[in-house]
Amino acid sequence: MNSVLAASSTNLDFSLAQQLTVIALCALTAFISHMALAVFNDGVRPFMLDFIQGRSTRNATTAVSFGLSAGFIFGLGAPMALSTGVLNPWLVFLPTDILGILSPKKWIAPLLGGAWGAVVVFGLNGANSLAHDLPVDFLTALQQMSTPILFLFTLFPVLAITKQFGRLRGGIAAVVELALVVMTMKVWPDVFPGSIAMAVGVLTLIGFAINKDLTQRKLERAEAAKAVAAGESLPDEKAERNTERNTGKDRGKDGAADDADDPMASLFSASALRLRRYLPLFMLLGAGVCVLAQAHVFGGGEATSFLIAKGDYSEAAQVDFYRAFGFVPLIATTALASGAYGIAGFTFVYPIGYLMPNPFLAAVVGAAVFAIEVLALSAIGRVLGKLPSVRDSSEHLRSAIGDALGLAILFGSLMAANVMGGGLGILIVGGLYLLNESMGRPVVRMAAAPAAVIVGGVLLNILYWLDLFTPIKG
């Protein structure tokens, strides 16, 4: 598998159908954001409840969205798209979050979103061509990130297992994953080496978590049985049940509990009901996202963008499928708590879209997937409440993904800096990254290094025009 993309593979020329898909989807996502039905940024979603209930203004919520999204748009989304030739959710969906919430009128939101989609499909290629014509081609240099991102991303299940279940199990998982990567490279050289290793790692983590929860349940049942046998707490339990029957607080005929005494249950129920009322709109959204993924001009993550650019669609589907497990609990709980869903749902439409044979089938399947997700939100919330270790695994997975990609992006950015300008390039890019850290990270850490490469590339070009720098050949 080639570690670096060919320059020609980063061309951002889109067909008419692809252009219309991006523009239409941006218009739709901006409209949905305006309605406060869904946003892409997980950090913004908890703020949507105050907006929905009128405790926060549109301008204030827009400021929050912009503050939490700008770094990802300009520091990660744009550089990744320009260096891979593949669109990504930070570039496509984060701006429509902002534009949708910002829009003062419902009919203006899709116009703003569609305008952003037009900027993406018509403007990026011009910027891409201009950058490739510069003496210091920092976009081609950014392709150096592909190898560290693809290979270090493989380790995220190992990190999650280590954080949740300790060094011994983490060490064993690391050895197993390394052996699987080596075996894959030797036996199936055309397959992404980390695909099998990631699958085994994620399944192992989930297996550990489920086993822990089941074991804990058995212990609790055993303790309860001992207490009953010893005659402990049984009278209290009977009295409590009698009180519930007498006051009418027991479950009704439909099996639903009285939510009046449980504010969180009441809120979750209201949020789920609100989202279900707009089910046709969510199905349209699912169809659009799945069609965009099927067009193979869009990748759902950092590693996925490089795999899509290389034409490794099945490997990209595997990567995004495993990644989704880290975000299902977060998206489900924040959606139930805030009443705002995720623009990409649980993100399972990404891998499904990559594998669809045509856009028509992708639209049907994407709509069905979103319908199932929205209708199942309440049930998923209840299941997660009964499996605390699985819920914790999700937190550890997300943290591990961030750690692995953070190192990979930083290392890849320094490799890009070396390609651009050798030691001087490393000094500028590394210095900008360290300066961002010392200033309290005005640019989020994940986006700081790619942004530093672009700024460093511009500075090196200026130095070249001032006859103070000679580009490295190669």
Residues 6+ apart with CB under 8 A from 200: 157, 176, 177, 180
Average pLDDT over residues 62-83: 90
Q: Is residue 150 part of a domain?
A: yes
Q: What are phi and psi of 312, to 5 degrees?
A: -90, 70
Number of domains in the chain: 1
The pLDDT of residue 264 is 53
Q: Are strands 38-39 and 341-342 parallel, antiparallel or unpaired?
A: parallel
Contacts of 299 (CB under 8 A, 6+ apart): 84, 86, 87, 88, 305, 306, 307, 308, 309, 316
Q: pTM for this structure?
A: 0.84
In a domain, 474, yes or no: no
The verdict on residue 255 lying in a domain is no
What would the pLDDT profile of 268-309 be if each residue is shown by its tens digit? 788 889 999 999 999 999 999 999 999 999 999 888 999 999
pLDDT band at 5 (very low <50, low <70, confident <90, very high): low
Residues linked to residue 87 through DSSP beta bridges, in sequence order: 298
| Structural domain contains residue 260 | no
The closest alpha carbon to 318, from 176, 198, 440, belongs to 198
Q: What is the pLDDT of residues 92-129, one digit of tens each?
A: 999 999 999 999 999 999 999 999 999 999 988 888 88
Q: Tell me, yes or no, whether 195 lies in a domain.
A: no
CB 25 within 8 A of CB 295: no
pLDDT digits (tens, 9 = 90+) for 347-382: 999 999 999 999 999 999 999 999 999 999 988 888
> Nearest-CA neighbor of 93 among 279, 294, 288?
288
Closest CA to 69 of 100, 35, 32, 111: 100
| CA 468 distance to own-chain centroid | 42
Secondary structure E strands in 354-414: none
Statement: residue 412 has pLDDT above 50: yes
Q: Is residue 219 part of a domain?
A: no
Residue 194 lies in a domain: no
Range of the domain at 293: 13-154+266-465
φ and ψ at residue 470, rounded to 5 degrees: -115, 120
